[in-house]
Chain A
Amino acid sequence: MTRINVKVDGAMCSDDVEPRTLLVHYLREQLGKTGTVIGCDTSNCGACTVHLDGRSVKSCNVLAVQADGHEVTTIEGLATNGELHPVQKAFHECHALQCGFCTPGMIMQSVDLLNENSDPSEEEIRTGLEGNLCRCTGYHNIVKAVQQAADGAGSAAVASTSGGAS
């Protein structure tokens, strides 16, 4: 067992983990952060995407011990002070989720994408989300949601609930 200290969604956590423990298993099983889910075993699906020090990582591809001394944000810590993140809102408004299983990872990756490039083209969005699989939506509305969030980034436009999904 190895002792790790990780800040997860704003709270300091100090835990003993087996060195082989994956970050996603630590989050889910030890911290109860079940909002982050596991969709595959080959790092293809991206359902487990979280932020490590502000950048997206697939948490099935990171050992818990590698997060020692770092800060992790999961889907559960994305909203601040009860206010949804603009990307969360855009996913809701654009009907960018159906079963919702890929959604935590998809949202975390979209946030990272927009942090890198605040005004992405459709192609840049599609390429930026290539590591996250969705089986329900056909990606059409996910792309739209990211576009909508980008359009409103830094302004209040996304935060309002005006307009429909089209």
Chain B
Amino acid sequence: MTVTEDRPAGKEIGSPRKRKEDQRLITGRTKFTDNIQLPGMLHLAMVRSPFAHATITNIDTAEAKAAPNVVMVLTGADVADEQGALPCAWPISEDQKAQPHPSIAVDRVAFAGEIVAVVVARSAAAARDAAELVDVDYDELPAALDLKEAAEDTVLAHPDLGTNKSAFWQFDSAGAGTGSAIDDAIRDAEILIEREYRQQRLIPAFMEPRSFAVDPTGEQITMWSATQVPHILKLMLALTLGIPESKLRVIAPDVGGGFGGKLQVTPEEVITLLAARRTGKPCKYTETRSESLMAAHHGRDQWQKLTLAAKADGTVTGLKVDLIANMGAYLGLVTPGVPILGAFMFNGIYKFPAYQFNCTNVFTNMTWTDAYRGAGRPEATYAIERMMDQLALELDMDPVEIREKNWIKHEEFPFTTVCGLEYDSGNYEAATARAKEMFGYDELRAEQKRRRESNDPVQLGIGVSTFTEMCGLAPSRVLGSLNYGAGGWEHASVRMLPSGKVEVVTGTSPHGQGHVTAWSQIAADRLGVPFEDIEVLHGDTQVSHKGLDTYGSRSLVVGGSAVVAAADKVIERAKPIAAHLLEASVNDIEFKDGRFSVAGTDKGMAIGELALASFSAHNLPDGVEPGLDADATFDPANFSFPHGTHLCALEVDTETGGVKMRKYVAVDDVGNIVNPLLVEGQVHGGLVQGIAQALWEEAVHDSSGTLVSASFVDYLVPTAADTISFDTDRTVTPSTSNPLGTKGVGEAGTIASTPCVVNAVVDALKPFGVIDVQMPCTPERIWKAIHDRGAGGADPTEGEAMPHFDEKDVADRSEGGAQ
């Protein structure tokens, strides 16, 4: 079965090519990790702590070991000398405090869901049955659960550390020489707005539960992992377990979404490898959804205190940010750095003279947090875009007008911001004008006015949000200056096969983005070979031996640029051979549309002919190596800065607090477009994830630290029925920091949509004097905000988001809970 493609006329780049990836995915011929079954394969089940903080006093595994088809039961004590500690690659300060993170807890658990024992059996069902028979005794310890209280060291998440504060990180524009002093701005402010916002805890909730399979039977240990980062994983496993890197091979086969949630080196990966090594048999572990929601890393979870100084005409003069960021119980791969990725973005698209960012990273006895779509930048954008609305409200100005007054004008690019970043290109006026036009801004404002005047029980809210983000992670030098453990380059190879086909090997690791299609388009244009003749290989460290994987909207910007560079090297390698075979001077060789020709003549050869000639190597110039293959590594000189303007209209039923979205317009500028179909898909998906933070999703814990939203019954990933179709468009100002002129699109929708929707909710409630509603803006919170202005942001999160778990239920649960 093949899907016939229409070949669009002209260049591949910019064409809405349908995806090469789809055929196997729509017919069920997939290679997700859980589909892998090897002869003699054993299956793992985890025993997890029901307590947020407890000492393990005894583990009795006898009954489990005696159960049918059980091969082995492991506890932390069994592997204490072997398992090492899970890695954190981003220590943000010299004196950062961290508790070593064992894959299997040895004598103490620090969050509910932490693994305390592992059953290895001949079938997944047998392993799960036997896991029920493992008897663990705990002495429960006081748990640090409330982020603000934890920041005060009221209860210690890790008593040995002596404090919950992991690190403090500051950026100060006066200190850095990039702006003036924030204290002066605050002192001289004509208008001063102080607000506190909550970034609730979210769960990435990729659709494919994490799955890991390890085959120890070859010379190399092979791991299949549902990961975004096979290359990083390989290195980190080697370092963690003391295995020579060359003895490991990591394969990310089909991976079912990640959103940052699979940017991790996990306990389960280490454990599956240890089990395979001990048994000498292939081993597999696939988590249940409940385990995934509980123990795969969470995202966001911050308190943000913001102080905005402005002049009476609406010109912002300074912004001060004080963050408390919840690390959870341990520091994952980039946990401490996530808030820092937002540090340079709180100024958004605006020209602020003074800026200060203070962040305290705090441990609690909760699942550890780490990257989630946007990572730091949605938090920053939310804060500033909410604050700009507050300023507009204060001055009774239109929210678009207040933004325009403060944003960087298109003629001012390149513009160095108060954070010292050089925004290379953008046109905020153009994107905003287009968005307003598509939205029918003035008409909707008129409707809003009518509804307000008639005291309509259903009020209309109009939300505005602009954004920019630093993408294309990242210039290696910048990462070095932020103490990140690795660089930010990306690698590609182009292999010219003797048959005329082409293999492009990339160090990026797609898990839904469509790299195979987009990279084919790039290589097709560059090399002048048909799209269909290009194969893109990825996600296997033995095939793609070098790479830094996929996250942070980096793949096209950095990895796509590496493909360009490698293809250009192929052409350069081919030129002397073409000159030799065409009996011309190399200076006279021209390359265009896949053909090398001699200038001013009709003599020429196709690139495929040269590939064959260089393969056979029968007639090469002296000293020229056979083959045309080339490798390239691209390290960007600067970040890229996509931007956009989003507008949202929604109806709020003031009698029920219910929200119904009417219209959502997103005009994004992500630079040059390789494939508009893929770009739109990324925007749509991002929008829904960002809207979900605004309206529905929250990881909710009870008072003993148990995750109560631990299934899709309670963790509200939106459905088709919750969402609407979107109106999207683009403006294009090419990035200047990469040869494709692209900026990255993976996170854009998620970043802009959250504040846009909350701004719309709050705007709808303006007649009631409401100035904030805490996320997620549930009907109950909205109703309470209408009836009691303070309730929107003041009440404890738990009580409001999950009203059916009242105090009594919680008490019953913890008393009768897992023992």
Contact = CB atoms under 8 A, between A and B. Distances in A.
B4 A161 contact: yes
A99 B3 contact: no
Nearest to B677: A95
Contacts of B256: 37, 99-101
Contact of A35 (B27, B257, B711): B27
B687 interface: yes
A35 to B, nearest CB: 2
Nearest to B207: A101
B301 interface: no
Residue of B1, B511, B687, B720 most packed against chain A (CB within 10 A): B720
B533 interface: no
Contacts of A161: 3-6
Given A102-B207, A135-B257, A41 B684 contact: no
B719 A97 contact: no
B26 interface: yes
A97 B207 contact: no
Interface in B1-49: 1, 3-6, 16, 18-19, 21-23, 25-30, 32, 34-35, 37
Interface stretch (B432-440, B575-583, B721-729, B811-819): B721-729
A38 B35 CA distance: 10
Given A135-B259, A139-B723, A44 B208 contact: no
B462 to A, nearest CB: 21
A89 interface: yes
B686 interface: yes
Interface in A25-60: 25, 28-29, 32-42, 44-45, 47
Interface residues of B, number: 60
Contacts of B23: 92
B568 interface: no
A140 B27 CA distance: 21
Interface in B402-438: none
A136 B208 CA distance: 11
A141 B680 CA distance: 9
Contacts of B282: none
Given A75-B27, A129-B719, A101 B32 contact: yes
A88 B2 CA distance: 12
Contacts of A101: 32, 206-208, 256-257
A157 B689 CA distance: 33
Contacts of B29: 35, 76
A85 B110 CA distance: 50
A99 B207 contact: yes
Contacts of A44: 711-713
Nearest to A107: B26
A143 interface: yes
A137 interface: yes
Contacts of A137: 681, 684-685
Interface string A76-92: 10110011100011011
Given A41-B288, A99-B256, A139 B712 contact: no
Contacts of A95: 18-19, 677-678, 680-681
Interface residues of A, number: 66
A34 B725 CA distance: 32
Nearest to B204: A135
B208 A99 contact: yes
A72 to B, nearest CB: 13
A97 B22 contact: yes
Contacts of B290: 41-42
A133 B717 contact: yes
Contact of A39 (B30, B289, B684): B289
B514 interface: yes
Contacts of B712: 40, 42, 44-45, 133
Given A39-B209, A74-B28, A98-B512, A164 B16 contact: yes
Contacts of A35: 27-30
Contact of B34 (A38, A41, A127, A139): A38
A148 interface: no
Given A38-B34, A45-B289, A92 B3 contact: yes
Given A101-B32, A135-B257, A89 B3 contact: yes
A136 B207 contact: yes
A151 interface: no
Contacts of B206: 99, 101, 135
Nearest to B256: A101
Interface in A122-140: 122, 125-127, 129-140
Given A40-B711, A92-B19, A130 B209 contact: no
A70 B578 CA distance: 65
Nearest to B257: A99
A142 B720 contact: yes
Contacts of A93: 18
Given A100-B254, A133-B717, A135-B259, A140 B726 contact: yes
Contacts of B514: 98
B764 interface: no
Given A99-B207, A141-B681, A92 B22 contact: yes
B670 to A, nearest CB: 16
B207 A130 contact: no
Given A41-B711, A92-B3, A138 B684 contact: yes
B685 A138 contact: yes
Contact of A140 (B25, B678, B684, B719): B684
Contacts of B329: none
B720 A132 contact: yes
B255 interface: yes
A162 B207 contact: no
A127 B721 contact: yes
Given A34-B35, A44-B712, A138 B687 contact: yes
Contacts of B21: 100
B205 interface: yes
B289 A82 contact: no
B726 A138 contact: yes
Nearest to B728: A140
Given A135-B259, A138-B685, 6 more contacts: A40-B711, A41-B711, A92-B23, A135-B205, A138-B688, A164-B16
7 contacts: A95-B681, A100-B30, A104-B28, A129-B721, A137-B681, A138-B723, A141-B684
Q: Which 3 A-B pairs have the closest CB atoms?
A: A35-B28, A100-B25, A101-B256
Interface of A: 18, 25, 28-29, 32-42, 44-45, 47, 74-76, 78-79, 82-84, 88-89, 91-93, 95, 97-104, 107, 122, 125-127, 129-144, 161-162, 164-166
